[in-house]
Structure 1
């Protein structure tokens, strides 16, 4: 039996592909495997960027596997490290993650995409939160989505379950870019390689600052940064890479980032 989570590693980039025919839906086993995969990526010092995508051209991910639930999978069961989909509750994920949305992206699949830092979409991709029609709540999306796109659009999606095509998702700032379907993964890899050549300690500091300051007053957040109370910021300010950036600028050359 093949694994529902496939990986491809090239240099400092890890591609993670959800592969569960027919629709790439996530059951408990798959969620745990995704969590283990993302945690291993997080903890590997040689990996700097991850891409999450779905197998095929029709589905990115429709979320929870309702058939598995009907067969006994507990919707409130153990999703594994990182919670549902392995990413949205994973602690200390301080590396860039790109979602390459290659088709239908709804429910928990949309929540998985929202957990990435950058979302690239195929031109035929579509997005929705249909939980309302099943008498349940899209919990993580209810927290995240109104902070990412205009409040009224987010609430309409949550209240009605209506679908957005890629063009509308892009218009509301839901996705970063739209690409032709056959060019999506090449574009995702181009972006991943570009990020992988960047300063990993700075990326880590950016992600922790964004998380830590989400519900903070501006001055409180700034005080934590300037006092080096955030671990990633403290590491960055005392690092070789921090000094290298200044040296490379004065020497008019490209910096060589070592991640230390």
Structure 2
């Protein structure tokens, strides 16, 4: 059963996966302050609960997210959360793997939310873009430095400087999308992918994400030294011993998160 962190954001635990739904369908899931606070609360829950290994972030209805709610902005709202930034996610996401499940448009701040996630499952209806320049604005919620990490420099420049949208199939070709699925199936496909992640050792999954994320800023000389304590913490865990026992005994592992 879904629960509401706030009415603007629904959460539902499905096995070891937390599904988070942006729930302002009447405004194409545009982000206001209440939604940002709801997303931040959902990510806090995902990080806090030891029984949860991964998360899926999706939007209600036929649109993932159209970006910032401009009416709320003009009324004086700033749809961010201290420490987590715009939409409660772009400056600090989850410590655990987070999958964006995209139907329809993920544009402006909505695309920046997608870029703040670790993996992307998109339906054939999806489209991505940073149209801020068309409105005389700058995409300041992480898109201008995350996008060049995901696609070649020239393509990131083209998307950011023209503001044109990229359809789902092209986004898949560029490597922005992990899995492309028929319309209406993004959330279920993302949940399948999250479940495949959640079957693995939770300590190992969290450490793996952390190393991949942090190592982008490590030099070649320091990489192994920086990785070593994180890997050793997992190697010395009860879960590591359980994984080895389960393999030798030819049975599924029973993870404890310890």
For the residues of structure 2 that align with 1:155 and 1:27, how far apart are their CA atoms?
28
Q: Which residue does the alignment assign to 1:187?
A: 189
State the alpha-carbon separation in 2 of the partners of residues 45 and 135 from structure 1: 44
1:95 aligns with 2:93: no
Contact preservation (8 Å) 1:5, 1:18 = yes
Alignment check: 8 A CA contact 1:94 1:203 kept: no
Q: Residue 45 of structure 2 aligns to a residue in which SS?
A: helix
Runs of 4+ in 1 over 6 A off after TM superposition: none
**Gaps spanning 5+ residues in structure 2: where?**
1-5
CA distance in 1, matches of 2:30, 2:184: 22
- Tell me the residue number matched to 2:12: 8
Q: Partner residue of 1:121?
A: 122
For 2:212 and 2:202, the matched residues in 1 are separated by 15
1:104-133 Cα offsets, whole Å, 9 max, x none, are 001111111111111000101101101111
Count of residue pairs the alignment pairs up: 252
User: Does the aligned pair in 2 maintain the 1:8–1:16 contact within 8 Å?
Assistant: yes
Q: Which residue of 2 aligns with 1:154?
A: 156
Q: Distance in 1 between matches of 2:190 and 2:213?
A: 24
TM-score normalised over the length of structure 1? 0.91
Provide the C-alpha distance between the structure 1 equivalents of 2:15 and 2:215, rounded to a whole number of angstroms.
32
Tell me by how many angstroms 1:30 deviates. Answer: 1.3
Moved more, 162-171 or 5-14: 5-14
Structure 2 counterparts to residues 1-260 of structure 1, below 5 A: 3-20=7-24, 21-57=26-62, 59-74=63-78, 78-90=80-92, 93-139=94-140, 140-226=142-228, 228=229, 230=230, 233-260=231-258
Please give the secondary structure, in 1, of the residue aligned with 2:185: helix
CA RMSD of aligned residues (A): 1.8
Distance 2:56 2:78 in 1: 28
* 1:45-98 deviation line (CA, Å, top 9, x unaligned): 1111111000001x10011111111122247xx53442112222226x321111
Segment of structure 1 superposing worse, 172-181 or 247-256: 247-256
Summarize deviations over 1:170-223 as a string: whole Å, max 9, x none: 000010111111322221221222222111111111111122211211230111
Retained in 1: the 8 A contact 2:103–2:184? Answer: no
Rounded Cα–Cα distance in structure 2 between residues aligned with 1:3 and 1:80 = 20
Q: Distance in 2 between matches of 1:32 and 1:26?
A: 10
Change (3 A) 1:25 1:238: same
